[in-house]
Structure 1
């Protein structure tokens, strides 16, 4: 791959060259059996506004519930949260996508969502990408939303385990034995512990999770690259963006995980960058003052960044939207791993 050396220089250029109109944000639920899903979309109505995804820990987003969808057709972005996460974790990104004209759909993944955790989830790894496909099915079957979607522009965006899900949906083939061999007896790498505790073995069968309707993929500090077969990664034909946290974490080794993505993803269709000042949790919602006291032993979710999370969100969203808007033409390369 060819890269710029500064992500911030690139992002500044993005802001100048790729400024998007900022639409009011409408929100409505999507009717899917056993799956909670929310659609964020551009609207012309900005009142009455209300806060969603807001709680004592995380900053919410101001939206208009049930507002009409802006006229015309819009690209789609499916958002997949991480292990034990919630659809609310990436509300900030869904909102920015909607402001830029996207229909963004976020969901709670049954079995790997906070409050709905299946101890043996990793024995049924195909369920996560299939859940996203079911959400897309529901969107395209919705009488009101289907006519507003552009079926040629459907992206998937995933954080952490959601990145694994996005890559599986994009066509990556996952072989549990490869990840087990790469992990060995490691007890310090989070991805190894999470998959092992979820019941995955070398013999775990993983049916194909690919969805041919997906036209682009974005991986946000993804975990699990060593389990994907090199052949399937070389054959990825859709644009794929991998954004990594620039601040290392012993449980999420930057060189072992994210920089391996830069080497394994095909140069012709992928781009990679490390977000300077970001931690693994910078891709979640902004923390409120006092959040660390509430979180207690989980306060690390709000700690460790060397730049304000709100600023990091603006930079991440700008990069993602520019990349998706470029389509097969791809935005300029980012930086060296």
Structure 2
């Protein structure tokens, strides 16, 4: 779960997140782009195409590197696996557009969306009491994709994955079959104030009892957790019942507010050994999993500049490593010896 950005009116961070420029970036293969029609939810589809242009940019602004796409291009021939992307707390669909673009170039049809109630600029004060809402939003997005005539016949319905960053990791794990217990998480947190996940859920929960949330979507055949927060909310018997492959990737550089021993390494210990893989990305921070920062971004972001700092390798290089690892896992599933196994 990402640090909560200062929620000041029309903040510079919000302006930069929603702004767009025409700057270009490199791409390995043509990527198509379109909007997905879901009432009340902003969603985009990125997918493989053979049309080389004209190229435009999405998720690009003065601070963050975007993705070159071909708007409303035809979908490449063949049967394509599907991936759903879930952003973190107070995030945006743009945060993981870099991953959507790399996966689309590799043959995936990828849906990335804003989660109403937990999206930057659209935050419900009691979001933590309705954790299943995010899963339902993803399921609605999948429904919309499968019902879209130009995509429907070309989607491999036996290869549908969900990928979530931070809070989105908890969403992905619920969609895979995990039960999220707000009360269990609060019990595990106790009076602790150092773990960010505890303070954020405590603030939203307002001390109320919240029923455990179950929202499994049986169409999901694999899940990927990107520096997920909230593993202690999932009862052991709930995790033991997850039968699909799960990959948990963690930031190798620890943030004191996101302690590895309390969060990511607990995922390695609690997820089913037979169907799960875990790895820490050396040189990565929690914010490595969002868009690459441009030169000068820290000056533009001011007090929010921490999201661009701390890595010991270029973010673009780490993005390539993460994307290749995710794709290898989704291709090999439980046949991988480890998450970082080479093909």
Do the structures match in fold with TM over 0.5? yes
Secondary structure at 1:40 match in 2:
strand
Higher relative contact order (CA 8 A, sep 6+): 1
Residue from 55, 59, 62 that aligns with 1:53: 59
- Aligned partner of 2:323 in structure 1 is 317
Q: What is the CA distance between 1:200 and its match in structure 2?
A: 5.9
Aligned partner (choices 122, 135, 138) of residue 141 of structure 2: 135
Aligned to 2:294: 288
The equivalent residue for 2:37 is 31
Q: 2:150 is matched with which residue?
A: 144
1:253 aligns with 2:259: yes
Residue 181 of structure 2 contacts residue 213 of structure 2 at CA under 8 Å; is this kept in 1?
Answer: no
Distance apart, 1:201 and its partner CA: 4.3
Within 2, Cα distance between the matches of 1:244 and 1:175?
22
Q: Structure 1 stretch 105-114 or stretch 290-299: which is displaced more?
A: 290-299
> In the aligned structure 2, how far is the partner of 1:75 from the partner of 1:129?
20
The 2-side partners of 1:309 and 1:151 are apart by 32
The CA RMSD measured in Å over matched residues stands at 1.3
Q: Contact 1:80–1:158 at 8 Å: present in 2 too? A: yes
Matched, 1:167 2:166: no
Report deviation, 1:49.
Answer: 0.3
Task: Indicate if the aligned counterparts of 2:268 and 2:277 stay in contact, CA closer than 8 A.
Answer: yes
Aligned length: 314
Deviation of residue 308 (structure 1)? Answer: 0.6
After superposition, the C-alpha distances for 1:209-257 in whole angstroms (9 at most, x for unaligned) are 1000000000000000000010011111000000000001110001110
Q: Hey, what does 2:275 align to over in structure 1?
A: 269
Q: Which residue of 2 aligns with 1:192?
A: 198
Partner of 1:333: 338
Unpaired runs of 5+ residues, structure 1, are: 1-21
Within 1, Cα distance between the matches of 2:247 and 2:206? 27
After superposition, give the CA deviation of every residue in 1:282-326 in whole Å (9 maximum; x if it has no partner): 000100011111111111100000111011001000100000011
- Output aligned runs, 1:64-75, within 5 Å: 64-75=70-81
Deviation at 1:148, TM superposition (A): 1.3
After TM superposition, the score normalised by the length of structure 1 is 0.91
- 1:241 matched to 2:247: yes
Question: Which residue does the alignment assign to 1:157?
Answer: 163
Contact 1:154 1:215 in 2 (8 A): yes
